[in-house]
Amino acid sequence: MGDVFKALADPTRRTILDELTARDGQTLFEICGRLTTNHGLTSSRQAVSQHLDVLERAGLVETRREGRYKFHHINTDPLEPIIERWLRRRTTCGSD
Amino acid sequence: MAEEEDDVRIRLTSVLVDDQDRALRFYTEILGFEKKHDVPLGEDRWLTVVSPDDPDGVELLLEPSGHPAAKPFKDALVADGIPFTQFAVDDVRKEYDRLRDLGVRFTQEPTTMGQTTTAVLDDTCGNLIQLAHQS
């Protein structure tokens, strides 16, 4: 779970996940374009690539090679334990 | 200082294509350019296309990508989804629908960012090409 929180601690990485929620399955080029034009972020392509590596190591982003292209997909599975640990439990308590 | 005839102008631009025959088919039959020059030149051809709206305008040279550095360069751009160049259209969404019906593969569906709408397609000759219009 530590990797997930570390990955989410950075605002640019959270914004990348926002944009992958808006459209899942993007090339590095599209992600960079969206960060620049939709959010005014000026991270270099290399910096964005490194952010994606962190997200991928945390399991929040998966890459898919399709032929010669590489697409990035969001994976929210690593967020489930957070819900299980705090949110669902609170809901259960509240319903007692 | 410079006389008008001395001004630098863009008359020709180029894409590096894996196969000139296939490129000519894609750029004319699919994208809709017209062939302008097709002249044998050594092992290859001096092969250019133009926009049908502007036959005397900028020519696009379909240049063979035979240099050993070309393939790794092109492959790396394609893997990251980076277009080699950009063409203008009146309406990206309309052109996207038309081209997709013709079997063209897009790596980025039409997306509006600010004033610009873009999409990115595969030219089947080793390049990604961006289509764009300004709103």
State how far residue A17 is from chain B, nearest Cα, in angstroms: 17
State how far residue B126 is from chain A, nearest Cα, in angstroms: 9
Neighbouring CB atoms inside 10 A of B30's CB total 16
State how far residue A89 is from chain B, nearest Cα, in angstroms: 40
Residue ranges of domains in chain B, CATH in brackets = 4-134 (3.10.180.10)
- B121 vs A82, residue with greater confidence: B121
Best residue of A20, A28, A68, A71 to probe chain B, by most B CBs closer than 10 Å: A68
- Do the Cβ atoms of B83 and A38 come within 8 Å? no
- Cβ-Cβ contacts under 8 Å for B68 (sequence gap 6 or more): none
Q: What pLDDT is attached to residue A88? A: 78
Q: pLDDT by residue for chain B (135 residues), tens digit each?
A: 555 668 999 999 999 999 999 999 999 999 999 999 999 999 999 999 999 999 999 999 999 999 999 999 999 999 999 999 999 999 999 999 999 999 999 999 999 988 999 999 999 999 999 999 998
Query: What is the complex's ipTM, to 2 decimals?
Result: 0.86
- Do the Cβ atoms of B82 and A29 come within 8 Å? yes
Q: How far apart are CA B38 and CA B93, in angstroms?
A: 32
Best residue of A23, A36, A37, A64 to probe chain B, by most B CBs closer than 10 Å: A37
Question: What are the residue ranges spanned by the domains of chain A?
Answer: 2-95
Q: How far apart are CA B58 and CA B38, in angstroms?
A: 16
Is the Cβ of B72 closer than 8 Å to some Cβ of chain A?
A: no
- Do the Cβ atoms of B120 and A38 come within 8 Å? no
Question: What's the CA dihedral at A18, B134, B122, A44 to 10 degrees?
Answer: -50
Beta bridge partners of residue B13, listed in sequence order: B60
**Residues of A in Cβ contact (< 8 Å) with B115:** none
Decide if domain A2-95 falls under CATH 1.10.10.10. Answer: yes
Strands (E), A4-92: 61-66, 69-74
* DSSP characters over B58-124: -EEEEEE--STTHHHHHHHHHHTT--SEEEE-S-HHHHHHHHHHTT--EEEEEEEETTEEEEEEE-S
Beta bridge partners of residue B17, listed in sequence order: B64
- Cβ-Cβ contacts under 8 Å for B46 (sequence gap 6 or more): B37, B38, B39, B40, B61
